[in-house]
Amino acid sequence: MSKLYVFKILAHSSFKKMNTAIRTVHERSGKSRVSTFFDMLYCAKKYGAGYNDYQIFAFYNMNKEQRATFVTRIINQRFNSFMNNYEYEHFLENKDEFNKLYKKYVGRGFLLLDEASKEEAKEFLSQREYIFCKMKDLECGHGCERIKVSDYPDLDELYAYLKGKGFCIIEDNIQQHPALNKLYPNAVNSMRIITVLDKDGEAHLLYVVQKMGVGGSIIDNNCMFTPVDPETGKILYPAHSGDTLKGIVYTEHPDTHVKIQGYEIPYVKEAVQMCLEAAKITPQIRFVGWDVAITTNGPVIIEGNTYCAHDFWQLPPHTPDKIGMLPKIRKYVPEFFEKKK
């Protein structure tokens, strides 16, 4: 990477946040703040790692060869752009289009409010105790609501509320498997399953992570997560805080006190196979993070994300060998690493 990149990083950096990162690294490693500052600049130039990457991945505890295996923020941006034609992202990002195109894998009843009549909507609502409501193109659970139908005096009032809020789709409330309820009962604890398509259109698995709600949250985003063995379904390591900067590690769930490492998630192999099939439906989007729920009858896809964050794949508690995800990506997408002539 060019020297110009370093200046761009500095120009767009928050020096207050950078100083906080330097202080945190100093406290965790004992290394001087001056040496940390210059090592951060070196890693920005050499690996495309911002100060958050440097802190999150603990680059201060790695050699050059280990650092070179990590998907940093800049590499992740390049890889997403390389893999995905964003003219086609609406098929996954727009909740109404996604449910129609991937209906086979959604596995639950749903109604598109913009297309349904008021009477059709009231008929749908009358047959359900709970519904889950989504906005058209928001991510990470933003704008979602879980509603108990009987909390409204009549269906006309509930319909007016749904239309007034701008929900595009209402769905059956997912009933997760008892094993996931035991882990945390207040949210649907979904898996993030990341797939890539190679240049021949074959689908490959990169990673499986189990997300968990915490502290009364009704969604699992930014709460806790941990890698899962795709063959056995067993959780491989303790969980990490959703805010990856905090670096908090949980050996047991703080609410349910379930021991996390070794806990077995059902239907994981089936969930992976489902995502590998779904990955081929929109081949123009080659890099997808699928959110999958496990029900008593098996896995269902909640949504597909066309821009995958890079931090939660490669955190220190989950990478004891200090090897990031780039070697695995190179295995399936070697053309990404070819130098442009």
- Give tens-digit pLDDT for 237-251: 999 999 999 889 999
Number of domains in the chain: 3
Whole-number average pLDDT of the chain: 91
318-333: pLDDT as tens digits: 999 999 999 999 999 9
Establish if 313 belongs to a structural domain: yes
Element containing residue 78 per DSSP (H, E): helix 73-83
Task: Give the pTM.
Answer: 0.88
The answer, yes or no, to whether residue 337 has pLDDT greater than 60, is: yes
Q: What's the rounded mean pLDDT across residues 17-45? A: 92
Final residue of a structural domain among 155, 172, 189: 172
Residues 180 and 286 in one domain: yes
Q: Confidence class of residue 137 from pLDDT cuts 50, 70 and 90?
A: low
Q: What's the rounded mean pLDDT across residues 92-115? A: 90
pLDDT of residue 341: 39
Residues 141 and 47 in one domain: no
Rounded distance between C-alpha atoms, residue 275 and residue 197, angstroms: 11
Establish if 148 belongs to a structural domain: yes
Residues 148 and 230 in one domain: no
Buried b (16+ CB within 10 A) or exposed e, 120-148: ebeebbeebeebbbbbbeeeebebbbebe
Q: What's the rounded mean pLDDT across residues 176-196? A: 96
pLDDT of residue 9: 52
Residues 64 and 121 in one domain: no
The answer, yes or no, to whether residue 340 has pLDDT greater than 70, is: no
Residues 206 and 294 in one domain: yes
Q: What's the rounded mean pLDDT across residues 86-92? A: 94
The answer, yes or no, to whether residue 44 has pLDDT greater than 70, is: yes
Residues 182 and 167 in one domain: no
Residues 14 and 144 in one domain: no
Establish if 297 belongs to a structural domain: yes
Q: What's the rounded mean pLDDT across residues 114-140? A: 84
Domain that holds residue 132: 109-172
Q: Is the dihedral of CA 266, 267, 272, 278 positive or negative?
A: negative
Least confident range from 16-20, 41-45, 226-230, 321-325: namely 16-20
